[in-house]
């Protein structure tokens, strides 16, 4: 790498841009405590899309130790689907067999404070803490398997639905930082977590920071 000997002390007061790839290692497929009490229904859970998602940030170096940052990252999509759900028959006596799916994902934005502890001129460890605002998005779809002309969109079991909402969570990270390009930029590797009411979601980020 070019410019490692410039040292981390080259970081000066001012703005910076941050970009990277966040890998959601602990992000699991959705799970439920029961099978909705529907005998014969086949329920599947899966994680779709890449676990690695683009992460972005813009921040301000208050001094050589303290920085403040606004950040954004999204999560993979989680899908729960079911088939062979039998509804009461129509007046003509024909049975109704339904399949359905619900797709959920989150968009995470927030603000954090970062503190760098220098081990030497070419390496620092940092801690980060702040608030994350998590927007929960969902898409639902329901079809009648044996009578395709019947449209039951938006009619799915209540325990499988989720509406858009924004929750406030605790965000934290620990990592290391290595300067490059004579101190004008740096590489970071961080372990991140979002502490939600339901679970602790964790991820790793490989990032690049450019001092403006």
Domains in the chain, please, with CATH?
4-32+43-80+105-137+167-211 (2.40.160.20)
Q: What is the pLDDT of residue 199?
A: 73
End-to-end CA distance of the chain: 20
Which range, of 42-46, 86-90, 187-191, averages the lowest pLDDT?
Answer: 86-90
User: What separation in angstroms does the CA of 16 have from each of 24, 60, 85?
Assistant: 25, 6, 53
Cα separation of 202 and 161, whole Å?
A: 24
Q: What mean pLDDT do residues 161-174 have?
A: 82
Helix, strand, coil percentages for the chain (3-state, nearest 5): 5, 65, 35
Please say if the pLDDT value at position 83 is more than 60.
Answer: yes
| Token pair for 94 | 């024909």
Q: What is the pLDDT of residue 40?
A: 58
| Token pair for 138 | 């969902």
Please say if the pLDDT value at position 137 is more than 90.
Answer: no
Q: What is the pLDDT of residue 69?
A: 96
Cα separation of 72 and 55, whole Å?
A: 6
Between residues 62 and 140, the one the model is more confident about: 62
Q: What mean pLDDT do residues 153-169 have?
A: 61
Whether the Cβ atoms of residue 168 and residue 135 lie closer than 8 Å to each other: no
Q: What is the pLDDT of residue 82?
A: 72
Q: What is the pLDDT of residue 91?
A: 63
Whether the Cβ atoms of residue 6 and residue 179 lie closer than 8 Å to each other: yes
Model pLDDT for residues 104-113, shown as the tens digit of each residue: 788 899 999 9
Handedness of CA 145, 147, 151, 156 (dihedral sign): negative
Q: What is the pLDDT of residue 191?
A: 95
pTM of the model: 0.73
**Mean residue pLDDT across the chain:** 77
In the numeric block, the tokens 């079991």 are attached to 157
Q: What is the pLDDT of residue 33?
A: 46
Model pLDDT for residues 188-206, shown as the tens digit of each residue: 999 999 876 667 888 999 9
Q: pLDDT band at residue 161, thresholds of 50, 70 and 90?
A: low
Cα separation of 136 and 193, whole Å?
A: 17
- Counting residues of the chain whose pLDDT is more than 90, the rounded percentage is 34
Please say if the pLDDT value at position 9 is more than 60.
Answer: no
- Counting residues of the chain whose pLDDT is more than 70, the rounded percentage is 68
Q: What mean pLDDT do residues 20-43 have?
A: 65
User: What separation in angstroms does the CA of 185 have from each of 8, 104, 126, 163, 209?
Assistant: 10, 36, 16, 41, 5
Q: What is the pLDDT of residue 6?
A: 42
């Amino acid at each position: 790498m070019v410019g490692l000997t410039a040292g981390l002390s080259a970081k000066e007061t001012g703005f910076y841009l941050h970009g990277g790839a966040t890998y959601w290692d602990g992000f699991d497929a959705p799970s439920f405590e029961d099978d909705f009490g529907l005998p014969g229904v086949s329920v599947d859970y899966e994680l779709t899309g890449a676990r690695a998602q683009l992460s972005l940030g813009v921040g301000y170096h208050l001094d050589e130790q303290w920085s403040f940052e606004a950040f954004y990252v999204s999560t993979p999509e989680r899908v729960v689907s079911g088939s062979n759900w039998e509804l009461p028959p129509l007046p003509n006596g024909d049975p109704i067999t339904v399949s359905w799916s619900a797709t959920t994902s989150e968009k995470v934005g927030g603000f954090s404070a970062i503190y760098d502890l220098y081990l030497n001129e070419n390496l620092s460890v940092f801690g980060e803490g702040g608030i994350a605002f998590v927007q929960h998005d969902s898409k639902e779809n329901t079809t009648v398997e044996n009578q395709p002309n019947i449209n039951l969109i938006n009619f799915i079991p209540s325990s499988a639905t989720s509406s858009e909402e924004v929750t406030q969570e605790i965000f934290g990270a620990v990592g290391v930082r290595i300067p490059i390009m004579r101190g004008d930029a740096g590489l970071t590797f961080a372990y991140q977590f979002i502490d939600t009411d339901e679970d602790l979601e964790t991820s790793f980020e490989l990032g690049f920071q450019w001092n403006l």
